[in-house]
Amino acid sequence: MEKLLALALAGACSTAAAQTPANNPMPDGSRDMYVGLGVASAPVYEGADERREQALPVLQAAWSNGVFISGLSAGMHLSNQPSLEFGPLLAVQRRRSEKGLSDDIGAVFSGTGHTIVRDPSPNKAGMVVNRLTGVDVQHTRLQAGGFLNYYLTPQLRVTNTLLYGSGNGRNGALWRVGLQHIGADLGPHHFVSVGVGATLANRSHNQAFFGISADEAVRSINPEYAAGGGLKDIHATARWNWSFSPSWLLVTGVQATRLRGSAADSPLTERPTNLTVSTALAYRF
């Protein structure tokens, strides 16, 4: 289960919110669960220059029938082959308003988090600039799709997730592909995993989150911009687990993301390269 949790707390990172945990065979009728509390530092929205530091609840669970909950996603492992994982997947696309992404990063249940948002930096004229002012709110959406992972070795796997339903039109699609090394013991009770990946998006998703319509251009400081589909970002992750007792675990993750293509060229993008850092203390039931 340590490997599973090492891959799950990337829920604080939008590009990994639907990442599927490794399958963990267990006796029939059993389950494995972690709950905890952590903190994350992340951009206010994808491409933002400003950052948000936020407390967040953590929940991850897996059952012997293959069902799992991991961050903002849930799914089911259907394969009995140790080298192949596949199944259906549901994930929440977080709401984006003038204040940025919604506060519930890393959580799959309602909770009150303490959020600190830094004041926007002034521009050269000394005026505070918020590029999301006047831009349509993108409402919370439930995305549906599936995952397919293949193990090249017991520790190295190729991951694929495909999700549909993002954006106000519910017609945005995201395909995430990655390569993960999910097992490296640095010593007693210490475990590290690393990975690289890319996200491809269709035009509807990129237009919803990076495009500017004619009406939005009138209401905001942004020029009209038509976003296209294709490569949206590339990213690299590293995660460290420290099991300092059979029940308590400290999990820390770092993800570097660089926007590409239409996402990087969008007038909403202030910083195409950004870093997300999260750490959490979790208790195993």
- Give the DSSP letter of residue 122: B
Using DSSP's 3-state secondary structure scheme, residue 48 falls into coil
pLDDT 10s digits, 123-155: 444 455 799 999 999 999 999 999 999 999 999
Q: Which tokens sit at 231? A: 């490569």
Task: Quote the tokens at residue 30.
Answer: 């059993």
**Protein fold of 2-120+127-284:** Porin (2.40.160)
In this prediction, residue 139 carries a pLDDT of 96
Domain extents in the chain: 2-120+127-284
Quickly state the pLDDT bin for 184 (edges 50, 70, 90). Answer: low
pLDDT tens digits along 171-180: 999 999 999 9
Of 12 and 256, more confident: 256
Q: Kindly report the pTM of this predicted structure.
A: 0.85
Contact 235, 150 (CB under 8 A): no
Residue whose entry in the numeric block shows the structure tokens 């669960």: 33
Segment 238-259 mean pLDDT: 92
